[in-house]
Every structure is written in structure tokens, then in C-alpha cells.
A and B are shown apart, each in its own frame.
Chain A
Amino acid sequence: MNKIILMKLGLIVIMTVLIGRLWLSAVLAQTGTITPSPTLTIDEKNIQNLKEKIATKVAELREKNNKAVSGFVTQIGDQSLKIKDEKDTEYEIKLDDALTKYYQVSGTQLKEIKLSDIKKGLFVIVTGVANDNVINANILYIDEMFLVKSGKITEVDKDNFSLKLLSSDKDAYTLEIETTTRQQMVNVKTLVAEPTGFSKIKEGDTIQFVVKKTGEEKNNTYSPTKILIIPQEFFMK
């Protein structure tokens, strides 16, 4: 009899302990008031990770918004200037006394200059945060503008060493070949660019050329720094 009572009592105790544990874990899970210290460390790590992620994202966005535009200076105002790019798109450049830096591209070097060195008609590159056609300039560089074009030779003037051509953009150009102009021609058999002379250039040849644009040229006449001829024989093969 006693044994049965003892067994019953033991069963009640075990049941009570089990129910108690279940209740405690449920309460802890809901309230989270008794958080052990290792969870705090994990939370701190998570916060740190989140901070790092936000910082990376901010840097990415800043880099993404950091744009570069280039063009000739058309107007200089108070704390701003206007430039026009090769497609005649106008940009307003906002300058900041404390933030904007000015440099001159000189060969392979950058030389620091002042705002007063920026003149109308100069070719500049501006980097900064862009909002449509308004750029908050971080850095402004004075540089040289080059055009890289191609077209078909329509006339060869052997007396004046000049070429007339129609570009692929349907613009007419006159190129005055100087002794300094690097002249090359594609070998039709080997497809290698080889040095050539003016006498080998013919009407109907395709030309690729590089010219320095100062903005003061007249009638699209330039002295190219280099030309590359693709002879018409290439297209007849």
C-alpha cells in the first residue's frame, strides 16, 4: 500500500518538475528578461556588422554618384561655372571654397592650381556629385580635348598635304598633315598597322584619326596627331 502511495507521490513530483520547466522556458522565450551574457556579445557583433554594411553602402552610393563630365568653360560666375560638352550639353558646375580642388593635367603629373587659373574657353574635367546637369564639384582638372574619329577620304590634296573626308557622323573635316603627324596604314594581308607616307593615301580609303581640339578651329580643319588608313583594297578582298 505504502509502495503504491510512494510511487504516486514520485509520479506527481516528476510531473510537477516537468510542467514547471516547460512553463519557465515558455516565459523566458516570451519576455527574454533573463538574457544570458553571450547573447549580448552576439547582438553587439550584429550591430557592428550592420554598421559596417551601412558604411560600405554609403561609400558605394557616394562612388556611384561621383560622376565625371568634361567640356569647354562657357561662363564663369560667382561660385559656379558653366561648361558645354562635345554634344553641346550644358552643365552647371557648383564650386565650394572649402571642398573644391583645382588641378592642371600636365603630361603624367597633376599640378595644383587656383580657381583664378580657370578661364573661359579652357577644356576642363569635373568630378563630383551629379544631380541631372548640376555637378557639385569635388575636383576640377584643366586638360586637353582630343577627338578620335573615322571616315572616308573624299579628296587628297598632294600639293598642300591635306585630306578632305566625310566622317561616320556625316561631318566634313579637313586634315592638314604635318611632319609630326604619325601616319600608319593597315597591311591588308597581315592586318598589322605599319608606318606609311602621304603618297600612299588614296581617295576612297577609310581613315581613323586623332586631333587635338582647342575650340578655336575654323571649318573643321585640324592638324591630326595621328592617322590610321584602312586601304580600300581591304574592302575589296
Chain B
Amino acid sequence: MKKEAIVAIVFGIVLGSILGIVLILKNKEQQLAKSKTITPLEKGKMTSQATNVVSQLEVTEPGDKSIVYKNTIIIKGSFTKNSLIIIQSPIKDLVFKNDKEQFSVDLPLALGENVIRTSAYPQDKKLRSQEKELRVYYFSTQL
């Protein structure tokens, strides 16, 4: 075998090895980058995320444009606990702090249309307040 041929084979093996090592390293980096998403968060970060979770203001009862034949209704809803909840209608204002997420209060009704606005102001002042409006029609008897 000629000397040039041996040099070429050795050179080929060295170059191939270098290329192989580079490719393996690159592949590892890519795999690490992909697996970052499932790396658990630090304790502090997790706590701050949990406290920022805010629920949507829900008013489950009564339904909008309900017709009722009793002069009181129960307003049922839910929102982040320890928020300031204000339920306002033309004849009554209810102001309270919800100790639990769920709240349920009695509201007197006026004869005819009752516009009821429920506003919720969270304890965490960085969070936005939310509100819902509904109409309830109260008639004294089923005519």
C-alpha cells in the first residue's frame, strides 16, 4: 500500500470521529433543550403561580331574564375567596367578604324589573375586578 493511501485512510478516520463526536454533542444539547419543559419549577416560583390563580366570577342562580313569583331570590355564585362582593339592585345593596369561594345570599325584589349587578373585587389588588349583570322579573301572582 502506498504511503498516500495510508495517510488518506488515517485522515478519513480522524475526520469521521470528530464529525461523529460533534453530532453526538449537538444531539444531546437538543434533547436537553426539549426536556426543559418537564423540569420541575423551583418552590418559590410554584407558590407565586398558585396565588395568582383567580377564578372567573360566576353567578349560577338565578338565570338572566328569569320570571319569579316570590319577592326574594337567592343569589348563588363563586369567586376567589376573601374578595369584596357587592350585589346591587335598585332596592338593596349587599356588601360582604366571601370567606369561601361559593357564596349564597338572599336578595329582596321589587315588583317588575330588577337589574342586579354583582361586582367582585379580589383581595390581591393586582388582579382585576369582575362584574355580572342580570335581570329578574318579579310579579306578585301568576296572572
CB contacts under 8 Å to B, within A181-222, are: 184, 186, 191-193, 206, 208, 210
Across the interface, A226 reaches (CB within 8 A) one of B93, B115, B139, namely B93
| Interface size of A as a range | 35 or more
How far does the Cβ of B70 sit from chain A's closest Cβ, in whole Å? 14
How far does the Cβ of A59 sit from chain B's closest Cβ, in whole Å? 12
Q: Is B103 an interface residue (CB 8 A)?
A: no
What is the chain B residue whose CB lies nearest that of A149? B117
Known: A148-B88, A192-B95, A193-B95. A141 touches B65 (CB 8 A): no
Cβ-defined contact, B111 with A105, below 8 A: yes
Residue-wise, chain A 105-138 has the 8 Å CB interface mask toward B (1 for contact) of 1011110000000000000010100000000000
How far does the Cβ of B99 sit from chain A's closest Cβ, in whole Å? 12
How far does the Cβ of B86 sit from chain A's closest Cβ, in whole Å? 6
CB contacts under 8 Å to A, within B112-134, are: 112-113, 115-117, 119, 121, 125, 129, 131, 133
| Contact residues in B for A160 (Cβ distance below 8 Å) | none
| Interface residues of A, dominant DSSP | strand
Give the 9 A-B CB pairs with smallest separation, nearest first.
Answer: A143-B112, A105-B112, A146-B90, A148-B117, A68-B137, A193-B95, A148-B115, A235-B125, A68-B67
Identify the A interface with B (CB < 8 A): 66-70, 101, 103, 105, 107-110, 125, 127, 139, 141, 143-150, 168, 184, 186, 191-193, 206, 208, 210, 225-226, 228, 230, 234-237
Identify the B interface with A (CB < 8 A): 65, 67, 84, 86, 88-90, 93, 95-97, 111-113, 115-117, 119, 121, 125, 129, 131, 133, 135, 137, 139-140, 143
